[in-house]
A = this chain, B = another copy of it.
Amino acid sequence: MAKEMIKGNVAVAEAAVRAGLVSYFGYPITPQTELLEYLSARMPELGRAFVQAESELGAINMVYGAACTGLRTMSSSSSPGVSLMCEGISYIYGTEVPAVLVDVMRGGPGLGNISPSQADYTQVVHGGGHGEYHLIVLAPASVQEAIDLTGEAFYLAEKYRTVVVILMDGFLGQMMEPAVLPPFKPVNMESPDYAVAPKEGREKRFLTSINIDAPTQERLNIRQMSKWEEITRNEVRYQGYYLDDAEYVVVGFGTCGRIALTAVREAREKGIKIGLLRPVSLSPYPTEVLDKLAEQAKGFLVVEMNNGQMLDDVVSIVARRAPVHFYGRMGGMVPYPDEISQAIDEMVNSDAGPELDGRAKWLELMRETIGQGA
């Protein structure tokens, strides 16, 4: 397969098409809009369904309907739009139908701006809608990985009848890189056996997220938690660099993870025994590998384009076995490798013990270097 230069947003769209996307429902929002625009031409051309919805609320509930037919469906948005989808996501999860959602994150809170960010980590990985749910969240760091994970997302969504989120940021959405697109998969129009797609001679079916009887709901919750346990066992994905002998470990995902790679390489060149853990599945999180690293490492540095949202998870897993440092940029700012290099140096030279509050130290630094106030 020949490589093509392709933009992240478009790559995900075309990868979805090639994975047999039957329907797409979305709403324009920067920096995701090219994905929708691309599909507004591509889907009708293939005789597939494309609807520009009235809102993200509309879009996610169209996805909900389409997902109830069991056929491949997706939406895409960016941070504020994803907030509007929280209720719908909870419903889809509660109904156990498969759907894929792309979040191309931007700076927040509120209207914020359209610059790249990773500030939806907590929202998508832990929070978001009401009720007990765990989405599968995949965070690509390159256009190729975005393409590969798109196919994967549909597979996982169907395998577990759940919602899979591809979590990217504005950089990855806008960036072009050479990448290989997968072969064109024919669309599967065969509805699975839980789906509504009536035909003669079978019992009626219904799909709902209501269980007005609490014990019934609880049994469902237990089953869903068990499913989540299984996902946690099977579906962890991460990329490790120079981890074998690492005395120090940088942890970063997506764009921030690949930027950190540059800094880690530089540090290695300087002779620092340092590695990089780039979680690809943010949920389920690569807990086990991090747990092992916590036995071996003298220090961790978490880098993010947010206020330390993944940091909380790393701190919890490392559990005071080593200090966890933090370096983040917020509000649509992207760190340069040099900043991370500096943070690495500070970690290596630091005498902080495992009880270090990495966020407090970082915030102090931010106040000093960048200041407060808007």
- A interface residues (Cβ-Cβ under 8 A, vs B): 57, 79-80, 82-84, 86-87, 90-95, 105, 107-115, 117, 119-120, 122-123, 126-133, 208-223, 225-226, 229, 306-307, 309, 312, 315-316, 319-321, 329-333, 360, 363, 366-367, 370-374
Contact = CB atoms under 8 A, between A and B. Distances in A.
B366 A217 contact: no
The 7 closest A-B pairs by CB, nearest first: A127-B127, A108-B131, A110-B209, A94-B110, A109-B131, A217-B331, A220-B374
Contacts of A320: 319-321
Nearest to A128: B127
A130 B367 CA distance: 23
Nearest to A315: B316
Which has the most chain B C-beta neighbours within 10 Å: A83, A91, A372?
A83
Contact of A211 (B105, B112, B215, B220): B112
Interface centre among A128, A208, A209 (most CB of B within 10 A): A128
B212 A307 contact: no
B132 A306 contact: yes
A217 B316 contact: no
Given A127-B122, A214-B107, A372 B114 contact: no
A366 B132 CA distance: 15
Contact of A94 (B86, B109, B221, B371): B109
Contacts of A87: 80, 83-84
Contact of A371 (B122, B219, B319): B219
Nearest to A316: B316
A116 B251 CA distance: 39
A358 to B, nearest CB: 13
How many copies the complex holds: the figure is: 2
Given A110-B90, A110-B93, A209-B111, A132 B330 contact: yes
Contact of A331 (B117, B214, B312, B360): B214
A329 B217 CA distance: 11
Given A83-B87, A123-B128, A333 B110 contact: no
Given A80-B90, A90-B80, A120 B130 contact: yes
B83 A109 contact: no
A129 B110 CA distance: 9
B217 A112 contact: yes
Contact of A330 (B79, B119, B221, B366): B221
Contact of A127 (B126, B218, B307): B126
A218 B110 contact: no
A91 B115 contact: no
B307 A225 contact: yes
A222 B330 contact: yes
A331 B218 CA distance: 4
26 contacts: A57-B84, A84-B86, A90-B109, A90-B110, A107-B131, A107-B217, A108-B131, A109-B129, A112-B211, A112-B217, A113-B213, A119-B132, A122-B126, A122-B127, A123-B127, A126-B127, A127-B128, A211-B374, A214-B332, A215-B370, A216-B331, A217-B331, A220-B374, A222-B366, A316-B319, A319-B320
